[in-house]
Homo-oligomer: A and B are copies of this chain.
Amino acid sequence: MSGLRARQKADRHRRIIEAAAELFRDAGYEGAKIETIAAQAEVSVGTIYNYYQNKGDILGAIVSMEVNEVLNAGQGVVANPPANVGDALDTLLGIYIEHSLHYLSKEMWRQAMAISTQLPDSPFGQAYTALDRALTEQIRALIARLQAIGLVRRDIDGQALGELVFNNMNMMFIEFVKREEARIAELRAAIRRQNRILVAAIAV
């Protein structure tokens, strides 16, 4: 089934996402009306709800693209980490943080995070949780790699450590997007300071 119907469907998906991304950026998430998104995507309001369960899911689709890009970028670090535990963590988390505002504004992040806790069972809610888990898993993989290289003690609980590092970073990131005036450099510095305690504990 890759006839006209399927092509039109893919095209409408794309048009809706493009229109929404533009409007979310320009007018903010709250400011972007479904009616306006529909008009700009040249579909009707009803059609948008045929493609996405609710406004949050449209944002969700955009967030997912962003996070998947970040996960990709992170793979490089895991494959070839800096030869120092502190730097390795800082480099990986740095990639997450530096990429984060590439496509999404702080307001979009706030909305996305809010929706994912508000509606954990919606398509986006579940996708967001999966993305969080993928990020945690990548940090765990980095730690495993460092253990293999011999930079991190073998008797460390890599799973628990990965969760600890991710949870702390994520919470700091939430606070970061909540304050419009917060700067990326400060965020990274604060996380480095916190991780220093862990690094001291786990480095060989």
Seen from chain A, the residues whose Cβ lies within 8 Å of a Cβ on chain B are: 110-111, 113-115, 117-118, 120, 125, 129, 156-157, 160-161, 163-164, 166-168, 170-172, 174-175, 177-179, 190, 193-194, 196-198, 200-202
Contact = CB atoms under 8 A, between A and B. Distances in A.
Copies of this chain per assembly: 2
15 contacts: A110-B117, A113-B117, A117-B174, A117-B178, A129-B175, A129-B178, A160-B193, A163-B172, A163-B190, A164-B164, A164-B194, A164-B198, A167-B167, A167-B170, A167-B194
Question: Taking chain A's interface residues, is the majority helix, strand, or loop, or is none over half, making it mixed?
Answer: helix
A164 B197 contact: yes
Q: Considering residues A117, A120, A168, which has the most beta carbons from chain B within 10 angstroms of its beta carbon?
A: A117
Contacts of A156: 197
A110 B120 contact: yes
Contacts of A125: 178
Contacts of A161: 194, 197
A157 B114 contact: no
